[in-house]
């Protein structure tokens, strides 16, 4: 097994022929295009230290080949610890539909999966990285079947990829706090420095007691200076009450504000607009965010309404290939593309704004077209994309050619059989991708 990138370039280096966005082009109808220019970028000690006019003849510089530099991508909800990625294809069983049925199934298969979970987590990280992701918020199971072994194996995988990937960890009681006796384990894991968030899942659907579960979750978070990230699939009045109750806890405890999230929150897709607006206003006041995997069909999330009310919305792949779902592409640009299609964000401006869901709210241009990224002293966390601008990258799901994590620059490598040099200066990279060779 090998990573999708070459050995990194580290230390102090300069890139030339780097394409950056510099503004918008407008006419009487509004924004119609994005202006770009080539620059040189100096990197030192993990930071961007200098941005200066392009010098294509700078012999000591690394050639970025005119690729577009964008902030590196972040997957804000994924399960690296229990993937089936790397194993033979397996679709979801039609016999296991409810969360409780899935818990019973997990209890059967987890002991076997743990034997190889480190290797599969590494392979899934490699997949995410191949699409330009250098950061993830990953949940790991804490349950009476696996104990803390999911965490131990995940940490081994993260350690093996530390030069190009970083994660924040969410302790996730997949089998409930009290439905199985996982509360003592969660109390232990909440004290660990490497854990950033206390997770949870369906306080009513699994544990049948919303207040008891959320009170315990809030206590663990406050006692151990952690954030909160609750999975919520419950619908109806129970789902609404869960969101309202958690928002109330954040309003009463300022330490939780900006550090509390509800993942999925499918109930919001089932409510009339007025009720969504009420909840969104409360979430914004409490600084409680929503993390979405962007469901579609009958569960189109009201993300535009949430954003309008000032709610922080994060996005993740969730399941890439596991026994819960197989539809996560592993590609954050693909997630942004799906959002743009669902919500009708088709214009140059709207597509450029949609990029923020892949980059954890970092954009090269502000809404007025002013350059805001990169700047000197920014962390050197970026990707080089084969696209002319952010809007094209989102609309075409453009390929990642290189990524930098904490300054270490990794170039994409391809199987040797896909290389084919042409006399006119082109390289055949994949069956559908031609890139100018300079």
* C-alpha–C-alpha distance, residues 387 and 389, integer Å: 6
Looking at 3.40.50.10330, 2.30.40.10, 3.30.70.120, 3.40.50.261, the CATH number of the domain 13-72+361-436 comes to: 2.30.40.10
- The residue count for the chain: 438
Q: What is the mean pLDDT of each run of 10 residues along the chain (438 residues)?
A: 81 97 94 97 97 96 97 97 82 74 86 92 94 97 94 97 96 95 97 97 96 98 98 96 98 98 96 97 98 82 97 93 77 96 96 98 98 97 98 97 96 58 40 38
Per residue in 179-234, pLDDT (tens digit) is 999 999 999 999 999 999 999 999 999 999 999 999 999 999 999 999 999 999 99
pLDDT of residue 108: 87
pLDDT at site 419: 38
Q: How far apart are CA 131 and CA 328, in angstroms?
A: 13
Q: What is the pLDDT of residue 274?
A: 97
Q: Tokens standing for 280?
A: 């969104």
- Looking at residue 188, its pLDDT comes to 97
Output the pLDDT for position 422.
35
pLDDT value, residue 95: 67
Which structure tokens are listed for 426?
């082109």
The pLDDT of residue 168 is 98
| Domains of the chain by residue range | 13-72+361-436, 74-327
pLDDT value, residue 297 = 63
Contacting residues for 424 by C-beta, under 8 A, at least 6 apart: none
Fold assignment, 74-327: TIM Barrel (3.20.20)
Q: What is the pLDDT of residue 343?
A: 96
- From the list 233, 202, 205, the residue with the least C-alpha distance to 217 is 202
């Amino acid at each position: 097994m090998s990573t999708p990138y070459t050995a990194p370039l580290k230390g102090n280096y300069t890139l030339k022929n780097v394409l950056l966005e510099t503004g918008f082009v407008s006419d009487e109808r509004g924004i119609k295009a994005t202006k770009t220019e080539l620059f040189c970028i100096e990197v030192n000690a993990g930071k961007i230290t200098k941005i200066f006019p392009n010098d294509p003849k700078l012999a000591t510089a690394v050639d970025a080949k005119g690729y577009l530099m964008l902030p590196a991508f972040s997957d804000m909800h994924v399960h690296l610890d229990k993937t089936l990625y790397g194993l033979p294809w397996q679709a979801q069983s039609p016999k296991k539909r409810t969360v409780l049925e899935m818990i019973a199934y997990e209890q059967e298969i987890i002991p076997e999966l743990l034997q190889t979970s480190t290797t599969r987590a590494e392979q899934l990280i490699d997949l995410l990285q191949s699409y330009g992701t250098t950061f993830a918020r990953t949940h790991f199971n804490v349950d009476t079947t696996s104990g803390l072994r999911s965490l131990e194996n995940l940490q081994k995988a993260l350690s093996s990829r530390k030069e190009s990937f970083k994660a924040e960890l969410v302790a996730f009681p997949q089998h409930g706090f009290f439905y199985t006796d996982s509360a003592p384990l969660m109390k232990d894991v909440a004290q660990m420095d490497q854990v950033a968030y206390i997770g949870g899942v369906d306080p009513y659907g699994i544990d049948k007691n919303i207040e008891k579960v959320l009170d315990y979750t809030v206590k663990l978070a406050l006692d151990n200076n952690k954030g909160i990230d609750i999975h919520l699939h419950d619908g109806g009045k129970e789902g609404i009450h869960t969101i309202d109750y958690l928002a109330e806890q954040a309003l009463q405890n300022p330490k939780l504000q900006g550090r509390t999230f509800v993942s999925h929150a499918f109930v919001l897709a089932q409510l009339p607009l007025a009720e969504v607006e009420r909840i969104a206003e409360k979430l914004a006041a409490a600084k409680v965010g929503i993390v979405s995997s962007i469901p579609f069909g009958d569960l189109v999330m009201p993300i535009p309404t949430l954003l309008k009310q000032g709610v922080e919305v994060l996005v993740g792949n969730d399941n890439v290939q596991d026994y819960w779902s197989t539809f996560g592409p592993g590609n954050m640009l693909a997630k942004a593309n799906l959002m743009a299609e669902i919500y009708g964000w088709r214009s140059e401006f709207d597509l450029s704004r949609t990029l923020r869901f892949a980059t954890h709210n970092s954009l090269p241009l502000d809404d007025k077209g002013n350059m805001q990224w990169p700047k000197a002293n920014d962390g050197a966390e970026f990707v080089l994309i084969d696209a002319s601008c952010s809007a094209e990258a989102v609309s075409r799901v453009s390929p990642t050619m290189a990524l930098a994590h904490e300054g270490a620059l990794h170039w994409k490598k391809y199987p040797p059989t896909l290389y084919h040099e042409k006399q006119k200066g082109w390289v055949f990279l994949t069956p559908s991708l031609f890139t100018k060779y300079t």
